[in-house]
Chain A
Amino acid sequence: DAGVTQSPTHLIKTRGQQVTLRCSPKSGHDTVSWYQQALGQGPQFIFQYYEEEERQRGNFPDRFSGHQFPNYSSELNVNALLLGDSALYLCASSTGLTQYFGPGTRLLVL
């Protein structure tokens, strides 16, 4: 049984560009959450998707948006990239209390 997968593993963008990150949840999981982890910090909650709708959102600007597909996979989009968006982006899937994390996508904004 495959765990949570994310793509790409690494990404380099320049300021002002847009990026799309992808996540496939564990089999049977219907909820996907996205987190941003800056270097040396703990992950911060961006938003969560359930039944193709954003169920809740953390303290992130509207430049961060997402989508969940009927097969429960999800995308995270970030527009107008800033240098401060450089981070590890983690996707987590769940069906109960425990969240299972993917390996992350490391985004570098130059």
Chain B
Amino acid sequence: SQQGEEDPQALSIQEGENATMNCSYKTSINNLQWYRQNSGRGLVHLILIRSNEREKHSGRLRVTLDTSKKSSSLLITASRAADTASYFCATDPDTGRRALTFGSGTRLQVQP
């Protein structure tokens, strides 16, 4: 079963615009990770945020985490056509186990 749910399911924007994707989850976590997947291929790790962190940046990516609301957001600034992909959040539970639980993903289309 999927723990996380991404919102929106699909997003279409123009190049240069910002894209925001949200993720909600149900149980306590050790960390939350965001991954990108191009056309049904392997997942590329984007960023990891620990449960005691509230915000993290990596290049054009900004991730926030609100553990009280069990939610996270991924912001991609100044989007490019190459950012077109599916984006998944994955939660790593606080049980000490390293089994990721993925959401259903947001399909981002960046129009040139």
Q: Which residue of A lies closest to B2 (CB)?
A: A42
Q: Which chain A residues lie closer than 8 Å to B59 at the CB level?
A: none
Residue interface bits A35-72, CB-to-B below 8 A is 1, else 0:
10001111111001000000110110000000000000
- Which of A41, A45, A55, A104 is in CB contact (< 8 Å) with B42? A104
Range of interface residues on chain B? Answer: 20 to 34
User: How many residue pairs, one in A and one in B, have C-beta atoms under 8 Å apart?
Assistant: 69
CB within 8 Å of A: which of B87-103?
88, 90, 92, 97-103
25 contacts between A and B (CB under 8 A): A4-B42, A31-B98, A35-B100, A35-B102, A40-B104, A41-B104, A42-B2, A42-B90, A42-B105, A43-B43, A44-B2, A44-B102, A45-B100, A48-B98, A88-B40, A90-B42, A97-B30, A98-B45, A99-B33, A99-B98, A100-B45, A101-B35, A103-B42, A104-B41, A106-B40
Q: B interface vs A, CB < 8 Å?
A: 1-2, 4, 30-31, 33, 35, 40-45, 48, 88, 90, 92, 97-105
